[in-house]
Amino acid sequence: MQTDSSFTFVLFGGTGDLSMRKILPALFEAHRAGGMLADSGKIVAVARHAANRDEYLQWVNEHVKPHVSKKGVDEAAWASFLTRIEFVKIDLGNPEDFTHLRDAIQDLPGIRVFYLATGPSLFVPICHALASVGLNENARIVLEKPLGYDLKSSNAINDAVGKIFAEEQIYRIDHYLGKEPVQNLLALRFGNALFEPLWRREWVESIQITIAEELGVEARGDFYDNTGALRDMVQNHLLQLLSIVAMEPPHSMDSDSVRDEKLRVLRALKPIDPNEIGKVAVRGQYHAGGIRGTPVPAYATEPGVKPDSTTETFVALKVEIENWRWAGVPFFLRTGKRLADRVAEIVVNFRAVPHSALGASALRAGANRLVIRLQPNETIRLYCLAKQPGEGMNLASVHLDLAFDQFFREGQMEAYQRLLLDVINGRLALFVRRDEQEAAWRWVEPILNDWKASNKPPKPYASGTWGPAAASAMLAQHGTCWLEEEN
């Protein structure tokens, strides 16, 4: 992914957690790789918590280095990376301060990228301030999630930003779309004749998509208690992964062809019947328990969380897609905090053979499945049955692995690294278009409204488990179970 594209990358929230853990480490990896970033490219950090460039670089040395990849920090590469970084002290609440930013970057070459690693309440004021000093032209703007609290607030932000930046200038980021296995899912489906004939209702029994975290809300209690798992993870990450799994083959891999097909999936989601929400949606909240032997507190006792909070930290959903390819196939989505393991994966369960001359083992559910692991280890594994060595025709489950770190000599690219390079080079395919976002909010809202109106408390689950028992019961009604329950 070589580039000669000159750029000025302006990072709002330059001292924030996201900048330290993800954005600057990703830019450093691109810099260290050589040739991915134009030599003339500059990074301009914007914050008010540092006095000057020297103080900011000291902050970067302390807070970014621990998050650089396992390869560690090559000090020569690190020193040259720091020469790219400039710093502008700005109070984002004072639009007049943006003249300092304009003066600092007006003579820098190339496309301008404004990355808003801030709270969503600042998106519109920052955009207005950029426009007031003429910085909205020859520019791209990156918006982090969450983009709004519901459909109305999301539209309000998009309307306001859309008056200042054209749609093709707006990059709504979802880092799961930049993960290597998600890219390889597209390659497997659309680059091989093997899977496409099977990728449909006739041969797929069910699909599971899980994003599980061992961590709790950490220091984000104030934010999370007003958000919850449905807004934080389902409306964006899980529905985006669903649309990638279920989309039709695009005409090409250009940005609008891919996003058009994702949009068709989101619009084909079966609307949630308010009378059926209790059967297809499970919400839970973690209580005190243990993670790998370490005691952890209940959600309601976390800092910043209301003691009587009814905010969900776990969601499991049964989703259906009303089109010819997927009609009748259940998609089970699940996400939660303080679960038994940190894992993100897509599980495609194929149907059993219609008749087996080899015994009942060939007819069992899950004999053939594809498991796409997004984290912590990025792999794709295809399960099938084979004869066990020895006398008789005894079958056992075996698997074929695509372990990227073993097969490809070059290192994998982290999701943020890929997506930031796409922004700099003007590639929109892996970013969320406004109509996709609206379709996702529109589908999620009946669940949000029902939970708000009923005011029923979420189902409790002990930290260190896989969530409320009701999530397993929901799958049992369809004759299946979560992958870890099989094992």
**What CATH number is given for 177-413+433-486 in this structure?**
3.30.360.10
Concatenated DSSP letters of 328-388 = T--EEEEEESSBSS-EEEEEEEEPPPS--SS-GGGGSTTSSEEEEEEESS-EEEEEEEEEP
Cα–Cα distance measured from residue 261 to residue 268, given in angstroms and rounded to the nearest whole number: 11
Q: Is 445 annotated as contributing to ligand binding?
A: no
| Partners of 403 in the β-ladder | 379
Q: How many CA atoms lie within 13 A of 296 on its CB side?
A: 25
DSSP 51-81: SSHHHHHHHHHHHTGGGS-TT---HHHHHHH
pTM above 0.85, yes or no: yes
Q: Does 91 show up as a binding residue in the annotation?
A: yes
Give me the tens of pLDDT residue by residue for the chain, a chain 487 residues long.
445 579 999 999 999 999 999 999 999 999 998 889 999 999 999 998 888 999 999 999 999 998 887 677 889 999 999 999 999 999 998 989 999 999 999 999 899 999 999 988 899 999 999 999 999 999 999 998 878 899 999 999 999 999 999 999 999 999 999 988 888 888 888 988 888 889 999 999 999 999 999 999 988 889 899 999 999 999 999 999 999 999 999 998 888 999 999 999 999 999 999 889 999 999 999 999 988 888 999 999 999 999 999 999 999 999 999 999 999 999 999 999 999 999 999 999 999 887 777 766 656 666 889 999 988 888 888 988 887 887 777 787 788 887 666 666 566 788 999 999 999 999 999 999 999 999 999 999 999 999 999 878 999 999 999 999 999 999 999 999 999 998 6
Asked, colleague to colleague, whether 7-144 and 177-413+433-486 share their fold, the answer is no
Report pLDDT for 181: 83
Residue pair 235/444 in contact by the 8 Å Cβ criterion = yes
pLDDT at 246: 97
Spelled out in words, what is the top-level CATH class assigned to the domain 7-144? alpha beta
Residue 37: strand, helix, or coil: coil
Is 48 a known ligand-binding residue? yes
Is 232 annotated to bind a ligand? Reply is: yes
Catalytic residues: 237
Q: CA 257, CA 71: separation in Å to the nearest integer?
A: 37
**Residue 4, pLDDT score:** 57
Amino acid 395: pLDDT: 80
How remote is the C-alpha of 253 from its chain's centroid? 20
Can you give the residue ranges of every domain in the chain?
Answer: 7-144, 177-413+433-486
pLDDT of residue 89: 94
Q: Is residue 92 part of an annotated ligand binding site?
A: yes
Phi, psi for 114 (deg, rounded to 5): -110, 110
pLDDT in tens, 111-167: 999 999 998 889 999 999 999 999 999 999 999 887 889 999 999 999 999 999 999
